[in-house]
Structure 1
Amino acid sequence: MSRFESRNVSEADVPASPAEIWAVLSDPDLLARFTPLIKAISTDGDLWCWQLSGISALGVSVAPSFSERMHLVDEERIDFRHDPPAGASERAGADGTYTLTDLGDGVTRLFIDITIWVDLPLPRLSRRAVERVMDESMERTGDRFAANLYRHLDIDPGDVVERTPAA
C-alpha cells in the first residue's frame, strides 16, 4: 500500500452571514448533499464518519469511509482530524479547517483548507499520476460544493469575491 494525498485551500468573501454558512457546514446531511465526493456522513457526538462515493485512479477504485473528530466553534471555525476507532484500520482520512470571519454588512470570509489521503494498492512510482487525479477531483468537488452552497443560500456567484489564500 502507498499513501496518496491531495490538499485544497480556498478563500472567498461570500455575501451571507456567518450563521447562514454555519448552518450548512455544521449540518452533516447538508454537507454530504452539497459535496459530490461524500455519499453520507453519520455522527456520534463529535465523531463523524464520512462515507465517500468513490475514488478511482489508475484502474483502482475504492469507496472508503473514515472517522473524523470534529471541533466546532459556533459560527467561527470547524477543525477536523482523522480519528479512527481503537483497533480500526481506515484506508482514508482527512484533516482540515473551515474558518468563518464576519466582515460586516452581511459578508463572511470563508476559508477552507482540506487535505484528504488514501492508501491504495499502487506503487509509489504512480504518485504523480494518482495525486494529479486526486487534485483534479478535489478541485471539481470544491467548485461543485461552492455552487451548491450559493444556490442553497440564493447567492449570485458573481457576487462572491474569490481570494488567493495565504495558507
Structure 2
Amino acid sequence: MTRFSVSTTSRATVEASRQRVWDALTDTGLLSRLTPYLRRIDASSSPDSVRWTWHLVQIPLLGSMVSPSFTEVMTFDEPSRIDFAHDPARAEEKAGVEGRYTLVEAGGATDLSIELAITVDLPFPRLARPAVQAAMHAVVATMGVRFSHNLVRHLKRTS
C-alpha cells in the first residue's frame, strides 16, 4: 500500500442565507443525497466529540475499485465554520480527510469556502503517484462540481 494525497479548495457565493447553507451542510442525510459517490454518513456523538463516518460507493481508479469509509472528528462553530479531521483512533482506516467549510454572510447570500485534503492508502506503487494523483484530482473535481450544483439546486427548491 502507498499513501496518496490530494488537496482542493473552492469558493462560491451561494444565493441563500447562511443559516440555510449551514442547515444543509450539517444534515447528514441531505449531504448523502447531494454528494456524488457518497452512500451514507453515520453520525455519533459523545459528551466530548461528534464523529461522522463517511461511506463511499465503489469509485473506479486506474482499473481498480476503491470504496473507502473514514471517520471524521467534527467541530461546529455555528453558523460560520465546520472543521473536520480524521479520527486518530481509527488508524486502521485506509482513508481520511482534513478540512473545513467556512460560511460568511454576503448580504442575503453566503460566501462558502471549502478546503479539503484527502489521503488514501491504495494498492499502487510509488512510481504510479502522478497517474494516481491525477485520477484522484479528477474524482474530487467531479464530486465538487456535482456537489455544488446539487447544493444550489436544493437551496433554490427549498426557498
The answer to whether the superposition gives a TM-score over 0.5 is: yes
Residue aligning to 1:55: 59
Q: Aligned partner of 1:69: which letter?
A: V
Residue aligning to 1:119: 121
1:41 aligns with 2:41: yes
**CA distance, structure 2, for counterparts of residue 145 and residue 58 of structure 1:** 23
Q: CA deviation at 1:62?
A: 1.5
1:74 aligns with 2:66: no
**CA distance, structure 2, for counterparts of residue 39 and residue 6 of structure 1:** 21
**CA distance, structure 1, for counterparts of residue 88 and residue 29 of structure 2:** 21
**CA distance, structure 2, for counterparts of residue 116 and residue 53 of structure 1:** 16
1:140 to 129, 139, 142: 142
Q: CA deviation at 1:84?
A: 4.7
Report if aligned partners of 1:66, 1:84 keep a CA contact under 8 Å in 2.
no
Q: CA deviation at 1:55?
A: 2.8
1:100 aligns with 2:107: no
Runs of 5+ in structure 2 lacking a partner? none
**CA distance, structure 2, for counterparts of residue 131 and residue 56 of structure 1:** 13
Residue aligning to 2:92: 89
How many residues get paired?
Answer: 153
Deviations 1:124-162 (A, max 9, x none): 10011011011011111111001111111117xxxxxxx
Runs of 5+ in structure 1 lacking a partner? 156-167
Moved more, 55-64 or 34-43: 55-64
Q: Aligned partner of 2:149: which letter?
A: A
Aligned residues with identical type, % of pairs: 45
**CA distance, structure 1, for counterparts of residue 26 and residue 134 of structure 2:** 29
2:112 to 110, 113, 118: 110
**CA distance, structure 2, for counterparts of residue 52 and residue 151 of structure 1:** 22
Q: CA deviation at 1:58?
A: 2.1
Q: Secondary structure at the match of 1:94?
A: strand
Deviations 1:2-21 (A, max 9, x none): 01122120001111110010
Q: CA deviation at 1:42?
A: 0.3
Q: CA deviation at 1:54?
A: 2.3
RMSD of Structure 2 on Structure 1 (CA): 1.3
